[in-house]
Structure formats: structure tokens, C-alpha cells
Chain A
Amino acid sequence: MYQKSAWRWLIYAVIGIVVIIYLMPIYWIVVTSLKPSLDIYTKVPKFIFKPTLANYAKLLPGHSDYLQQLLNSIIIAFGSTLLAVALGTFTAYAFSRFRVKGANDLLFFILSTRMLPPVVVVIPIYLMYTALGLRDTHFGLILLYTTFNVSFAVWLMKGFIDEIPREYEDAALVDGYTRFQAFRKIVLPQSVTGIAATAVFCLITAWNEFAFALVLTETGGRAITAPPSIPSFQGASGIDWGQIAAATFIFLLPVAIFTFVMRKHLLRGVTFGAVKK
């Protein structure tokens, strides 16, 4: 008994240290974002200080374009997530329920292209977007992120839809429903979990995407998202950490809230549907 409780303390101590290591930077972000700039650069970290919103004020329009960039991120990430999940669900339904010629080969091929580093296609897409006038547009990035996520969405959703018994739809079809009606009224309500899991994954991917956003938008452009804007947060006097911390904290919020709401479905999404619990 004694031994068991000693073990327990040890395990908790190790886990506790790791949790501190993981949460420390988040703590740092919050604290730094609220510190007056004089208190950030001290030899001994200041734990007691007068919280200020000055760093957040520096992000307001007039001082910086950050809120616009954040809005771009929101439009693009949520827009592409919506599209990818909708399209993914449709396609997965078809692959799950109909005999599409060569479906298995196609799915395997699509999956294997996910193994390729996406940077291979960055240059052709850059050229294509330049030629079509899609560079630095919301639509362009939404379309791109949708494509990035959709093959994954199809795969994940197919797993979920395969689990829904066909009998329900067959009955509905016999009752005179069309395919689309059967899909909308029978399949959709039963795939809510799958849709949530897929959405979390797609959103996180699109929200944090950096390389393509960097190449396909302009600094100070119309559609530039938050991630590629951050490295340019350097004033004449060097990097303003207070401002960056404030920007990071605001950036965290939307996706953290979304993930928190969807937390029950997080696991299945990030494990590519491999884990059902």
C-alpha cells in the first residue's frame, strides 16, 4: 500500500513537471501581454506589476492592421473548413454508399498524395494564382485550404458514414425519398460527431497554415492572414514582445474556443479516425 502511494506521487510529480513545461509559454503569453513594456525587460522577472491593456491597444486599427489580418484568418479558416467538411461529407457518402468505379484505387491514390510535402506544389500554385488573379484574395486561400483538407475530410467522414446502417436509408428510399432527401434527413443527423471531429482538424490546419499564406499573399495585402504577419511585428526599436504576446493571445482565442466546444471529438479527428473513443 505504501509502495503504491509512493509510486502515485512520483507519477504525479513527473506529469506535473511536464504540464508546467507545456503551460509555461501560455502563461508567459498572457502575463507579457498584460505587462507595461518597462516591466517586460527586467533582469529578474517581475511577478507583481500593474496590468495594462496598452499592448492590446497597439493592435487596434490606426496602430496596426492586425485586427484586419485576424479577420482574414477567421474568414479564410472558417470558410475553408465549412467547404471542406461539406464537400468531404458529400463525397464520403458517395464512396460509402454507391459503387463508384475504381473508388478504392482512387481513394488510395488520393491518400498517398497526402504523403507528399505540400511545398512541391507551391510554385505551380503560385504561378497559377498569379495568372488567374487569385493571389492575395480570400477566395484563393479558401479554395486552397479546402483542397488541402478535403481529401482528409473524405477519408475521415467515410469511416463515420460506413458505420451508419444502410437499412434506414433503404427504408426511406422505399418510402419515396430521393437520394438527397435520404442523405439530408437520415445520414446527416447521424454523422454529427464525425463532422465535428473533421471540422476541428480542418480548422486547426487552416488556422495555422503559414508557408502558402506567406507566398500567396502580400505583406500588408488585402488577404494576408495572421501567421505570416507576425514575423513582421518589428518596430524600429526591435521586436515589441508585449505587442506580439497580445497578438498571440488574441490569435489563440477563436481556435481555442472552437476546440474547447468540440473537445469530445478532438481525439478522433487528430487520430485520423483511428481511435473511436
Chain B
Amino acid sequence: MTMQRMALFRLQRKYAPYLFVTPFIVLFLLFGVYPLIKSLVLATYITSGPKSHLFVGLENFRFLLSDPDFHKAVRNTTVFAFFSVFLQLPLSLGLALLLNRELVKGRDFFRFSFFSPHLVGQVFVAVLFSVIFIPQFGLLNRVLHAVTGLALDTKWLTNPSLVMPALILTSLWMYVGFNMIYFLAALQAVDRELYDAAQVDGASAFQQFLHVTIPGIRPVAVFVMVLSTIGSFQLFELPYVMLGNSSGPEGAGLTVVMYLYNNGFVSGDLGYASAIGWSLALGVLLISLVQMRFTGTWKREE
């Protein structure tokens, strides 16, 4: 190798890595770090449209604490997150356990059909369920009427106390199958020999489930739980499409992100909307940290 080539080689060794990484870092700073800081700054202003703004310090956050609409949004979102996550997980796991039995054939087909809501996406699912929930003609009322005799004119989307159950039902349809894919994958990764050993030791099926399956799938279960929680707290598409801008009767479908959208893009107070965004981010972060702490995954991941 000539001296020149050696020098070039050395130069390349030194700078090539940074050349590879730079575009990524630039994008990340531009669309990740800058907007985050900017939105924190915005949260300290009262704005009316993009042009006029007034510095108010922490006033926006203080106002949030006493804003009844925000409280309602937080309450609705929390109820939604709680029920959708804690109904989703056992159902997904149950379904995965069924599919994981050796005698079940055609797993790929099942997996694909359970994944299909994800291809359609939230907006189209929302449109679809708006039809399913229609009184008289809707699929759900027809089925419930036939099976349980429930009134055909049950108004899922216009009766305040039924709005949340309707949204939770929709999200169950969307996510139970999707999360099942994670659980199925986790179940298939559990070492067969552990079951054999447990069987030799005389463990019942339930004991095996408790002491082999559960510990084996725990990391994935925690992962699914944390992600579902984060996702649930961002509920927006479903109520936006199914209930419209007004968030349903008596604001029964008002969620935190809906409230952010209404404040920022309907009333034009970008500052207040930013404060809502940051409160949501902090809340979600706190909940995920608690979940990870509580389930002890933190140490294991390291």
C-alpha cells in the first residue's frame, strides 16, 4: 500500500462513521429535540393563532389543574386506557394460548386475519364501527338483539354512558389480535424442556402455566402492557371520527389529545395546547416508569 492510500484509509476510518450517522442525527435534532424544547417554551405563552402571544410563565399549567374540561378529558382517557389494557391483555394471551397448541393448523392464516385491523388503520376502523354501532341497522345491535334480546335502538354513540364502552369495544377489536401476535411469539420462544422437566416433577397444567409460561413470557407481557398503555393515552382517531369535533354527547368521548387538538387547532391557543401536550407526555412517562419498576423489567433489560 502506498503512503497516500494509507493516509486516505486512516482518514476514512476516522470520519466514515460520522458520515454515516450525520443525516440521522440532523433529522433527530430537527424533528425530535427542537420541537420538544419549542413546545415547552410555547407552553409558557398564551397564544391566539401563530402571531400573537403573551408570556405567562406556568400559568397555563396552573390553569390546567383547575380546568374542568381537562379533568374530564383525563378521566375519560384514564378509564379508556385502564379498561382497554386490562381487557386486552388477558384476551390476547388467552387467544395466543389457544393458537399455540400443537394441534392447531393454519396458524399463519389466523395470524394474518388477526393482524388485518392494522392494515386498515384507526380511521377506517372508526368509520367501520360507526356503522356497526348504528341503532336499528347496525351489526352489533342486530347480533345483540338476536342473542340477548337487547333493544334494537340502543344508541351506542349518542348515549353518554355508552360512548366509552363503545370506544373500548372498538379498540379491543383492533388490538386483541395484534397483541396476540406478540404473545404467540413469546410462547413459542419458551424452552420446551422446561415443560418436560415440570411434568416429570408432577406439575399440573395450571402449575406449569404459573411457573413456566408466565415467567417465560414476562418481558414480552410487560412490553405489550407498556406500549398498550402509551397507545391508549393517545386516543384520538377513534373519537374524532366516530363522534366528531364535539367529542360526543356531554363530552363523553373527550380525550386528552382531542382536547389538545380542539384548543390548538380549533380555538387557536397553541400555548395552552402545548401545555396539555407536555402534561400528557409527563403523565405517560410516569405511568410507564411505574409499570416497568413495578414489574422489575428495568434491571433485567440492562
How long is the Cα–Cα vector from A211 to B30 in the complex, in angstroms? 19
Residue among A12, A119, A211, A252 making CB contact with B119, cutoff 8 Å? A252
Inter-chain contact B234/A178, CB cutoff 8 Å: no
Q: Is A90 an interface residue (CB 8 A)?
A: yes
Chain B contact residues (Cβ within 8 angstroms of A): what range? 35 or more
If A123-B42, A208-B121 touch, does A94 touch B21 (CB 8 Å cutoff)? yes
Chain A contact residues (Cβ within 8 angstroms of B): what range? 35 or more
Min C-beta distance of B21 to chain A, whole Å: 5
Interface string of A135-157 (1 = CB under 8 A from B): 00000000110110011001000
A263's nearest neighbour on chain B, judged by CB, is B112
Q: Which residues B16-63 have CB closer than 8 A to chain A? A: 16-18, 20-21, 23-24, 27-28, 30-32, 34-36, 38-39, 42, 50
Q: Which residues of A contact B111 (CB under 8 A)?
A: 267
How long is the Cα–Cα vector from A187 to B130 in the complex, in angstroms? 48
Inter-chain contact B128/A98, CB cutoff 8 Å: no
Q: Is B12 an interface residue (CB 8 A)?
A: yes
Inter-chain contact B281/A116, CB cutoff 8 Å: yes
Q: Is B151 an interface residue (CB 8 A)?
A: no
Max chain B C-beta neighbours (<10 A), residue from A4, A178, A231: A231
Min C-beta distance of B107 to chain A, whole Å: 10
Min C-beta distance of B264 to chain A, whole Å: 6
How long is the Cα–Cα vector from A97 to B237 in the complex, in angstroms? 41
Min C-beta distance of A213 to chain B, whole Å: 10
Q: Interface segment, B64-72, B98-106, B157-165, B246-254?
A: B98-106
Q: Is B74 an interface residue (CB 8 A)?
A: no
If A11-B98, A231-B240 touch, does A22 touch B39 (CB 8 Å cutoff)? no
If A22-B116, A146-B27, A231-B240 touch, does A117 touch B281 (CB 8 Å cutoff)? yes
Q: Which residues of A contact B99 (CB under 8 A)?
A: 15
Inter-chain contact A230/B127, CB cutoff 8 Å: yes
Q: Which residues of A contact B190 (CB under 8 A)?
A: none
How long is the Cα–Cα vector from A110 to B21 in the complex, in angstroms? 13
A residues near B (Cβ < 8 Å) are 4, 8, 11-12, 14-15, 18-19, 21-26, 28-29, 41, 43, 45, 87-88, 90-91, 93-95, 97-100, 110, 113, 115-128, 130, 143-144, 146-147, 150-151, 154, 178-179, 204, 207-208, 210-211, 215, 227-228, 230-231, 239, 241, 244, 248, 251-252, 255-256, 259, 263, 266-267, 270-271, 274-275, 277
Beyond A19-B110, A22-B113, A271-B181, 10 additional pairs, beta carbon < 8 A: A18-B177, A43-B137, A100-B17, A120-B274, A126-B265, A208-B121, A210-B121, A230-B123, A231-B241, A248-B120
Give the top 10 A-B pairs by smallest Cβ distance, nearest first: A208-B121, A94-B20, A98-B17, A124-B35, A121-B35, A124-B38, A275-B185, A147-B31, A91-B24, A120-B277
